[in-house]
């Protein structure tokens, strides 16, 4: 590790100021990705601004529109224990291990946008809104590629607003060493249609499977997936854990499992 300053503000406004006062500052959520990155010298910010002590960024409630509103510094364990949105709580309960779930935060995960992380699938599959200190961003506009988002310099995720679907489920094929998703599929059925979001499979990160959405919007059953061709392997990840073709097969299998579980 190397020398750096760490600040622990108690208000969002103070965190924003600390970020803007430095030319090389980075927000720190639970640190489950950032700290290992610093240890490997893959990043070397001169200042870390911790979100952990900002009470207004911690907690879970519902707004007037019935959306589940989760503070950006809320841990995975808190989301898992809440239960107001069963599909989301079930997803959070399977992130990493207990140590990761009790330190990692939803805002940190979405800001990092790891291509195999679980929360991006939930946000995109739910049609969530990512709230920052500056604006609100629809999930469809937020995710831009591997480790790439619509966040601008100095922008902090303060809250995430999730519409709660009629039924939902997250099916995750776990890479056993990392506990990340080799392929994960989040399915959410709303009154006006179905959303299907896939993580872990694509070189461009989390994405929606439109063919499955159309089929499931007509008939929400695992059988509707059976008649579909597996997604193209073009652009899917090939590594020591599996080829692009293998991941394409898993996308179809995990989507069917998610629908069957939700049904």
Q: Of 32, 30, 28, which is closest to residue 48 (Cα–Cα)? A: 28
Instruction: State yes or no: pLDDT of 30 exceeds 90.
Output: no
Q: Beta-carbon neighbour count of residue 40 at 10 Å?
A: 8
Q: Residue 57 corresponds to which tokens in the numbers above?
A: 């960024």
The pLDDT value recorded for residue 1 is 60
- Give me the torsion for CA of 78, 124, 85, 263, rounded to 10°: -140
The fold of 167-262 is Enolase-like; domain 1 (3.30.390)
The pLDDT value recorded for residue 225 is 93
Does this model's pTM top 0.85? My answer is: yes
Determine contact, residues 32/103, Cβ cutoff 8 Å.
yes
Spelled out in words, what is the top-level CATH class assigned to the domain 1-49? Answer: alpha beta
Q: Residue 163 corresponds to which tokens in the numbers above?
A: 């519409």
Mean pLDDT of the chain: 93
List of residues 6+ apart from 171 with CB closer than 8 A? 184, 185, 187, 254, 255, 257, 258, 261
Instruction: State yes or no: pLDDT of 32 exceeds 80.
Output: no
Provide the residue ranges of all domains of the chain, joining segments of one domain with +: 1-49, 167-262
Digit-coded pLDDT (tens) for 152-188: 988 999 999 999 999 999 999 998 888 889 999 999 9
The pLDDT value recorded for residue 2 is 65
Helix (H, G, I), strand (E, B) or coil at 101: helix
């Amino acid at each position: 590790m190397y020398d750096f300053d760490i600040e622990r503000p108690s208000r969002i406004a103070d965190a924003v100021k600390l970020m803007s006062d430095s030319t090389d500052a980075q927000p720190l959520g639970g640190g489950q990705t950032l700290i290992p990155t610093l240890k490997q010298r893959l990043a070397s910010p001169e200042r870390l601004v911790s979100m952990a002590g900002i009470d207004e960024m911690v907690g879970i409630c519902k707004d007037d529109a019935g959306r589940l509103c989760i503070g950006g510094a809320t841990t995975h364990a808190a989301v898992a224990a809440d239960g107001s949105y069963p599909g989301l709580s079930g997803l959070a309960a399977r992130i990493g291990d207990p140590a990761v779930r009790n330190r990692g935060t939803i805002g940190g995960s979405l800001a990092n946008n790891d291509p195999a992380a679980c929360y991006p699938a939930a946000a995109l599959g739910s049609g969530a809104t990512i709230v920052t200190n500056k604006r609100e961003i629809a999930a469809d506009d937020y995710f831009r590629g591997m480790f790439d988002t619509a966040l601008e310099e100095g922008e902090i995720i303060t809250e995430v607003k999730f519409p709660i679907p009629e039924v939902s489920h997250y099916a995750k094929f776990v890479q056993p060493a990392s506990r990340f998703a080799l392929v994960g599929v989040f399915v959410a059925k709303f009154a006006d249609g179905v959303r299907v979001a896939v993580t872990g499979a694509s070189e461009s990160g989390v994405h929606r499977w439109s063919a499955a959405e159309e089929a499931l919007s007509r008939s929400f059953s695992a059988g509707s997936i059976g008649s579909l061709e597996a997604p193209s392997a073009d652009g899917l990840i090939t590594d020591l854990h599996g080829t692009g073709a293998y991941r394409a097969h898993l996308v179809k299998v995990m989507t069917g499992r998610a629908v069957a579980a939700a049904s």
